Chain A
């Protein structure tokens, strides 16, 4: 089925370990996003990529890096995981590169626990 695919679905890390969350979309969308979801805080934007070849910080970028590998793929890397990064991570994509008019399409999320 067409959509946004995230891997892995679950991950447990120890403090200081690194990992990369993978995201791919097959809808030919221009923009891609990484959000984190924490209880009582809704979804907060970590990084976004308005178009292939560009990335920029969102509301909570500290401790993360991203790579827009090509139009389809947008990865999120935690270089040295901390317990504060325990969260559910969502990747999303949208058609537009400048103004969000169409709804975002979300992946199913990655539940990350850092001990």
Chain B
């Protein structure tokens, strides 16, 4: 079965600190996709990044960077020089096959989320 674990329930940092959000996944598939979403206090879900299982290159987008390591089944997210506007719940998700269904359809499996609070 597929599973996504975000062991950090809540993280609290002071502005300008760097912070890393951990994501560990389980899957038997060789082809899969990993995602990060942000949910600010307003409640909407905002897509941040997608990574496929064949691309292990790290990615950087401004203050955000992602470290994908298949060897440890991890897809960690780092925010450099955090800001108050980064305060949100962050979800890691895995695209995997639906249990018991052979039709090839996929679903997006979410971790429980990490609540990040950045204080001035």
Interface residues of A, Cβ cutoff 8 Å to B: 33, 35, 40-45, 48, 50, 56, 58, 88, 90, 92, 97-106, 108-109
Contact = CB atoms under 8 A, between A and B. Distances in A.
Which interface residue of B45, B98, B113 has the most chain A CB atoms within 10 A? B45
Task: Please tell me the size bucket of the interface on B.
Answer: 20 to 34
Contacts, number: 63
Nearest to A41: B112
A43 B9 contact: no
Contacts of A98: 103-106
A56 B35 CA distance: 23
Contacts of A45: 107-109
Nearest to B91: A42
B106 A104 contact: no
B6 to A, nearest CB: 8
Given A100-B95, A103-B50, A88 B43 contact: yes
Given A90-B45, A106-B45, A108-B44, A42 B107 contact: no
A47 B61 CA distance: 33
Contact of B95 (A88, A99, A105): A99
Contact of A103 (B9, B47, B52, B98): B47
B105 A50 contact: yes
